[in-house]
């Protein structure tokens, strides 16, 4: 305790010495400003004799006269004309010898005049003095409060929570069991560090949460603080970014200083890529960001982890982070917070459904099966949309139908009931969608059709086909990918077969098919021409997953040829399947035009009634698949499969 008091006294003495230095510097600066202002201000001493000044008042065109009695001066502004007839102004100044004589002439000629106490230059000096004294006063007050020379500008603006403020625990986080297990070790260490210290274990300095947006990285960080019941500093990487070089670094130092005073605690930096990007001088750098990163690296090396300061960072762009930030000893662990699997989606839905009145017919297992690829925020949004729909329909509880409708709202948007297509467009869209559904039903490796609709949606789709998986898949075979390509091409094939023309409705299908076929060639090694050769890499895998080629220009041209051939083969298969089932196509399309929306059960029933005998190779879905399609009527729609939307729409509006 005595050492702490001694340290506080030393800090106070140093602070007082700094204040005295600043005051002495201020006095010296004021003297310098005064001398400089005297030298720089224009000389206003008498430039002409007083008699000459009176003569100017009598004879010249005088605009105004100013009496400056504080300096015993008088000046006159005179308008003159040069040789070219242009007017210009000249100011004459002289000592004020006889004011009455001057006033007599001024009144006689009715010249405007006024009196001043100080010259304009004096006002400038006074303003400079006031501003300077204000800055010095602010600096002294800031230093007295411990804010440094720049006051609160260099202080960390992190939000500090304690356990009761976060209100989040691991029970509020679902679908991330592996991530929770890794973080639970940190919580146990913060609770009982002695148990780990006995064996020589040290608390990791930090962990990096990596995953797509919406998977719950921030929620996990708050849950760690809530479980550990320690102070929780929460801020974003952009909070360190400032216009002035060195300001962000000062905030980093202030943050760690405050955290060490409140240890044990957790520092959470969200979107750390804002300050943690790789330092690269080849293309120019950002001095402020790099100095902030350097300060962060130095502070992470400098503090003692045994005191219980733990750093959590989150990003969805790990590939851009500086290697020095990710090495052991700084962010020791990388924790993947990925999209939840089927079991995880059920758990997430249960967490968000706890505070919502659910009907007896609600089956969250079916909703989870229908939302493959959805993240936690998507599922929370679906539950909320279902609750809103229930209220709009006059009910106090949510039904399975509400949940299914909310899934569709998230996939394709709300129905555009005011959008009325003409008969030709409606018929073309109907044939387009039935083409997708029919080709899917006629292939063995496709997923059962759950719903067909030609009702426009707000996200641009004029219609779509929903296919629900019978089980969750993590891998897709070449045969399944080829089936997907054939199904995607069926919409354009049906337009060509039944209308002798094509429309813009297949634009989205073609885009998806091209991306899938290119991935088969460049990433999956499924082409005979290139074999097991990786020709493409994926960057920002947790964001848009954009791919870029790693090959020569000649190879890129060959890739285009192979992709074109794969798509042409898929298109030929689609046309062949549709040609052999024209009667079924026309019957189902007519029914869809009448109803606008049909279920998978209705679709399979119509197909069974009118389908003509086919060859064994083109056999329709098995009875088990048909039964699964019928039961899938209440199962919802698959959102994402291997990163792509599973539903095949009639295209987006042009």
Q: Which residues are catalytic?
A: 433
Name the pairing type of β-strands 62-68 and 87-95: unpaired
DSSP string across 79-111: EEE-TTS-EEEEEEEEE-S-HHHHHHHHHHHT-
Distance, in Å, from the CA atom of 517 to the CA atom of 563, rounded to the nearest integer, reads 6
In what helix (H) or strand (E) does residue 67 lie, and over which residues does it extend? Answer: strand 62-68
Give the three-class secondary structure for 329: coil
For the chain, what is the total number of helices (H) and then of strands (E)? 22, 18
E-only strand ranges, 441-541: 449-453, 464-467, 536-538
Distance, in Å, from the CA atom of 487 to the CA atom of 98, rounded to the nearest integer, reads 106
Distance, in Å, from the CA atom of 65 to the CA atom of 112, rounded to the nearest integer, reads 6
Distance, in Å, from the CA atom of 249 to the CA atom of 548, rounded to the nearest integer, reads 35
- Closest by CA to 425, choosing from 503, 479, 371, is 503
Distance, in Å, from the CA atom of 382 to the CA atom of 400, rounded to the nearest integer, reads 12
Give the phi and the psi of residue 275 in degrees, each rounded to 5. -120, -10
For residue 633, count other CB atoms closer than 10 A to its CB. 16
Tell me which DSSP letter residue 72 carries: T
Helices (H), ranges, 303-446: 323-326, 342-352, 364-370, 376-392, 400-412, 423-441
Give the phi and the psi of residue 360 in degrees, each rounded to 5. -70, -20
Give the three-class secondary structure for 366: helix
For residue 331, count other CB atoms closer than 10 A to its CB. 23
Distance, in Å, from the CA atom of 22 to the CA atom of 26, rounded to the nearest integer, reads 6
- Burial-class residue 327 by CB neighbours within 10 Å (0-12, 13-18, 19+): exposed
**Residues 57, 105: contact at Cβ < 8 Å?**
yes
Name the pairing type of β-strands 206-210 and 309-315: parallel
- Closest by CA to 42, choosing from 158, 148, 124, is 124
In what helix (H) or strand (E) does residue 336 lie, and over which residues does it extend? Answer: strand 333-336
Distance, in Å, from the CA atom of 399 to the CA atom of 295, rounded to the nearest integer, reads 54
In what helix (H) or strand (E) does residue 287 lie, and over which residues does it extend? Answer: helix 287-302
Whole-angstrom Cα Rg for the chain: 39
- Closest by CA to 172, choosing from 230, 213, 225, 212, is 225
- Closest by CA to 429, choosing from 509, 506, 512, 511, is 506
């Amino acid at each position: 305790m005595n050492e702490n008091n001694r340290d506080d006294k030393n800090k106070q003495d140093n602070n007082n010495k700094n204040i005295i230095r600043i005051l002495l510097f201020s006095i010296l600066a004021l003297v310098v400003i005064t001398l400089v202002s005297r030298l720089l201000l224009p000389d206003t001493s008498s430039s002409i004799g007083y008699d000459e000044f009176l003569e100017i008042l009598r004879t010249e065109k005088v605009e105004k006269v100013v009496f400056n009695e504080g300096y015993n001066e008088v000046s006159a502004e005179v308008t003159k004309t040069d040789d070219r007839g242009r007017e210009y102004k000249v100011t004459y100044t002289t000592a004020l010898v006889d004011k009455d004589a001057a006033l007599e002439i001024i009144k006689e000629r009715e010249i405007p005049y006024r009196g001043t106490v100080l010259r304009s230059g004096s006002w400038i000096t006074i303003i400079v003095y006031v501003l300077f004294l204000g800055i010095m006063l602010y600096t002294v007050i800031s230093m007295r409060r411990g804010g440094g020379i720049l006051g609160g500008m260099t202080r960390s603006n992190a939000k500090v929570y304690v356990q009761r403020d976060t209100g989040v625990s691991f029970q509020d986080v679902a679908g991330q069991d592996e991530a929770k297990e890794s973080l639970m070790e940190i919580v146990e260490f913060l609770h009982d560090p002695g148990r780990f210290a006995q064996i020589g274990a040290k608390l990791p300095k930090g962990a990096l949460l990596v995953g797509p947006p919406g998977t719950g990285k921030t929620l996990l960080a708050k849950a760690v603080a809530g479980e550990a019941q320690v102070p929780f500093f929460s801020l974003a990487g952009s909070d360190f970014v400032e216009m002035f070089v060195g300001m962000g670094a000062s905030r980093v130092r202030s943050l760690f200083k405050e955290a060490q005073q409140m240890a044990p605690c957790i520092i959470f930096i969200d979107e750390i890529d804002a300050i943690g990007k790789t330092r690269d001088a080849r293309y120019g750098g950002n001095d402020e960001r790099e100095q902030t990163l350097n300060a962060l690296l130095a502070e992470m090396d400098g503090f003692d982890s045994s005191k219980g300061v733990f750093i959590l960072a989150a990003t969805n762009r790990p590939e851009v982070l500086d290697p020095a930030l990710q090495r052991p000893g700084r962010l020791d662990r990388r924790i993947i917070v990925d999209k939840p699997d089927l079991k995880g989606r059920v758990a997430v839905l249960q967490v968000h459904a706890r505070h919502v009145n659910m009907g007896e017919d609600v089956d969250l297992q079916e909703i989870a099966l229908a939302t493959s690829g959805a993240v936690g925020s998507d599922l929370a949004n679906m539950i909320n949309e279902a609750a809103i729909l229930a209220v709009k329909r006059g009910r106090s509880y949510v039904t399975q139908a509400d949940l299914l409708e909310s899934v569709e709202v998230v996939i394709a948007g709300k129905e555009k009931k005011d959008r009325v297509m003409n008969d030709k467009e409606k018929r073309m869209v109907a044939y387009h969608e039935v083409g997708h559904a029919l080709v899917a039903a006629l292939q063995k490796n496709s997923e059962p059709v759950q719903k067909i609709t030609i009702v426009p949606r707000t996200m641009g789709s004029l219609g779509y086909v929903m296919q629900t998986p019978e089980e969750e898949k993590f891998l897709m075979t070449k045969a399944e990918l080829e089936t997907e390509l054939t199904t995607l091409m069926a919409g354009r094939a049906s337009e060509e077969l039944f209308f002798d023309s094509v429309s813009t409705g297949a634009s989205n299908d073609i885009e998806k098919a091209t991306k899938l076929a290119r991935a088969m060639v460049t990433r999956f090694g499924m082409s005979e021409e290139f074999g097991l050769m990786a020709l493409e890499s994926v960057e920002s895998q947790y964001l848009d997953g954009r791919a870029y080629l790693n090959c020569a220009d000649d190879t890129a041209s060959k890739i285009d040829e192979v992709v074109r051939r794969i798509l042409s083969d898929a298109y030929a298969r689609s046309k062949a399947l549709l040609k052999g089932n024209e009667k079924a196509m026309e019957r189902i399309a007519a029914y869809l035009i009448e109803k606008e929306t049909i279920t998978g059960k209705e679709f399979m029933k119509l197909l069974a009634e009118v389908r003509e005998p086919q060859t064994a190779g083109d056999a329709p879905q098995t009875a088990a698949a048909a039964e699964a399609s019928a039961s899938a009527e209440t199962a919802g729609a698959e959102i994402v499969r291997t990163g792509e939307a599973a539903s095949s729409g009639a295209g987006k509006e042009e």
